[in-house]
A = this chain, B = another copy of it.
Amino acid sequence: MKGKLFYVGLILTFALSAVAHYMHLNATLQFVISAIAIIFVAGFLGKATESVAHYAGERMGGFLNATFGNAAELIIAIFLVKDGMFEVVKASLTGSIIGNLLLVLGLSIFAGGLKFKEQSFNVKLASHNSSLMILGVIALFIPAIFAGGLTTKETSSMSIIVAVLLVAAYLLWLLFSMVTHKEILSEEAIEHGEAPWSKSMSIMFLVLATVMVAFTSEWLVGTLEEVTHKFGLSELFVGAFLIAIIGNAAEHSAAVMMAMKNKMGAAVEIAIGSSLQIALFVAPVLIIASFFMGGTPMNIVFTTYELAAIGVAVFITKSITQDGSTNWYEGLLLLVVYIILGVVFFLV
């Protein structure tokens, strides 16, 4: 996705999806075009964020990357929240988490493992990440288990309190990993390279990219209901697989590329880090945001299916990454679990 061709694709697909939207073309066509456009604009947003992060200095840059790395997904989700499509939002958050842990990480480990017999990475980092993932899982499971005994109002209170606690824990994690214990992370950093643009250009492009993501997200979300019905797909499947794969395409290619360069630590960091961001930052921010949007706020109660998928994904990822080394078969195991989940979500 480098070079001129990327920008040609970006402009072309964005323009085409605008045309499709405003000329009220066939919904399926609109969906497909804006889906492709989102892959490009999300990639553009990622580049612009990194470029701004480059000028912001190491610490602030790390913070920017850590909080805006899933900006595209956050924006798509905000449009879904605005339209009251809470079920699709939660399904897509679930899909992002399992997509990063099983598909992105699975492909990275598998592809890297075909090239290198054994790949290793910093166990310390993996161990910290897995403790955080467990916090994320706990914070999603507890409300679901207790929600049965609560009124709607109590569920709302619980949701907002847990959301605030999670955001606080995430911000303190940034403090921990970037200030007090930053040497744990530094060992195998994700390569950022040179900034492609000047400082002012970078900021302008960041704004532009955000606007483009917002537009294409709105167009995509607008066609969702019609497409879902047409093909007889469930909201759960569309949110958890289609939208999640579209929204995470940039991470997918970046992580796989890192793994094939034998930088498995960076690949693990992208995949697990992105999942953590979804569970501990994006999800609670959406819940908090929905409180300020009027109407019924979104609660933190996920369905049993979603929780099972997340729990399973975290459990097998933890088991596979905890020894700090990977091989092709471990990547395959992650992919098999992803396919099994895909099959059951499709059938339900």
Contact = CB atoms under 8 A, between A and B. Distances in A.
Interface of A: 117, 123-124, 127-128, 130-132, 134-135, 138-139, 141-143, 145-146, 149-150, 154, 157-158, 161-162, 165, 168-169, 172-173, 176, 180-181, 304-305, 308, 312, 315-316, 318-320, 322-323, 327-330, 332-333, 336-337, 339-341, 343-344, 347-348
Given A150-B348, A181-B117, A348-B146, A161 B343 contact: yes
11 contacts: A130-B319, A142-B340, A142-B341, A145-B304, A146-B308, A146-B347, A162-B343, A165-B336, A172-B329, A173-B329, A176-B327
Nearest to A161: B343
Contacts of A150: 347-348
A344 B158 contact: yes
Contact of A312 (B138, B304, B308, B319): B138
A98 to B, nearest CB: 12
A333 B132 contact: yes
Query: Which 4 A-B pairs give the minimum distances between C-beta atoms?
Result: A176-B329, A146-B344, A149-B348, A145-B308
Interface of A is mostly: helix
Contacts of A181: 117, 327, 329
A149 B234 CA distance: 12
Contacts of A117: 180-181
Given A176-B328, A319-B131, A340-B142, A347 B157 contact: yes
A17 to B, nearest CB: 34
B146 A315 contact: no
B149 A305 contact: yes
Nearest to A150: B347
Given A127-B323, A138-B315, A145-B304, 17 more contacts: A123-B323, A130-B319, A131-B330, A134-B315, A134-B316, A135-B333, A138-B312, A138-B337, A142-B308, A143-B344, A145-B305, A145-B308, A146-B308, A168-B336, A169-B332, A172-B332, A173-B329
Nearest to A307: B145
A131 B176 contact: no
Contact of A142 (B123, B158, B312): B312
A139 to B, nearest CB: 6
A131 B336 contact: no
Contacts of A316: 131, 134-135, 138
A297 B319 CA distance: 33
Given A134-B316, A340-B165, A347 B172 contact: no
A106 to B, nearest CB: 12
A323 to B, nearest CB: 5
A154 B347 CA distance: 7
Contacts of A315: 134, 138
Nearest to A343: B161
